[in-house]
Amino acid sequence: MPVRLEDKQNERDHRKLRIDKVGVRGLRFPIQIRDKAHSVQNTIATIGMYVDLPQEFKGTHMSRFIEVLNAHGSMVHVENIPDILQAMQRKLHARAAHLEMEFPYFLEKRAPVTRLTGLMDYTARFDATARGESIDFVLTVQAGVTTLCPCSKAISRHSAHNQRGLVTVQIRFRRAIWIEDVIALIEESGSSELYSLLKRQDEKAVTERAYANPVFVEDLVRNVALRLIAHPDVTWYKVEAENFESIHNHNAYACIESVAPTAQAGSRGGKTGCRKPKRR
């Protein structure tokens, strides 16, 4: 005969304080992400799953989050995230459910002259929230670029200082936007792209391209923002850029956040504010 086990989580709590988010964080899980070039990419995500907890309940059932994740298999894309959120709401009897996934994303990239192929890694993140039947989704993509200082070029007889910059783009959208497309508009906005494999001919081309296209950190965020504004499906964006300065003992930083002008009336604009991005 099975032993009846006490369920402490379902006991009443008398402190009268609801909890906004409770769940699991730092869960590493193999997933498959749909990509534009190959249809599927295997990667490993760091996952957080949370629900709200009414004031009358002592705790939530942590194992149920893992059950929900396992029940939905390893394929993850924008279209099946609402199913995961709704399953969390049902299984944990919650009004609000939150899902965050951060993962490395790889693209094959050819050197500009020799056309040799190397793998570039980027960081992507999904942040999704279900409140009742309403779902909010934010895609975050991080990509590096080269930036060459316009001031240094203007005042120096020889050369100009340049550095790597890290750009973080967060967007809300009407229709799903490929991660590759966000990476492309970031890389088009700096002085030059970054590459994993360069021979001397390639290095010459990249160096000269950067010198011909100087970009302040302010230019960088504005260039990215203009490309997002022109995208018909973007309804809200936040762009952050941090340059890891090569001649200063500090980094340069800029941020733009706005509802896209093409957003339909009633689109959610987000109020996250501009903060220094986390390094990946």
Q: Read off the pTM.
A: 0.88
pLDDT of residue 76: 77
Q: How far apart are CA 24 and CA 30, in angstroms?
A: 16
CATH architecture, range 19-259 = Roll (3.10)
Specify burial of residue 34 (Cβ count, 10 A radius: 0-12, 13-18, 19+): middle
pLDDT of residue 266: 44
Size (the chain), residues:
280
Contact 143, 186 (CB under 8 A): yes
User: CA 171, 173, 175, 180: dihedral to nearest 10 degrees?
Assistant: -20
- Tokens standing for residue 185: 């508009």
pLDDT of residue 150: 95
Q: What is the pLDDT along the chain (280 residues), one digit of tens a residue?
A: 677 766 666 677 778 888 999 999 999 999 988 888 878 889 999 999 999 988 887 878 888 999 999 988 777 777 789 999 999 999 998 999 999 999 999 999 999 999 999 999 999 999 999 999 899 999 999 999 999 999 999 999 988 999 999 999 999 999 989 999 999 999 999 999 999 999 999 999 999 999 999 999 999 999 999 999 999 999 999 999 999 999 999 999 999 999 988 764 444 444 445 554 454 4
Residue type, 69: L
pLDDT of residue 274: 59
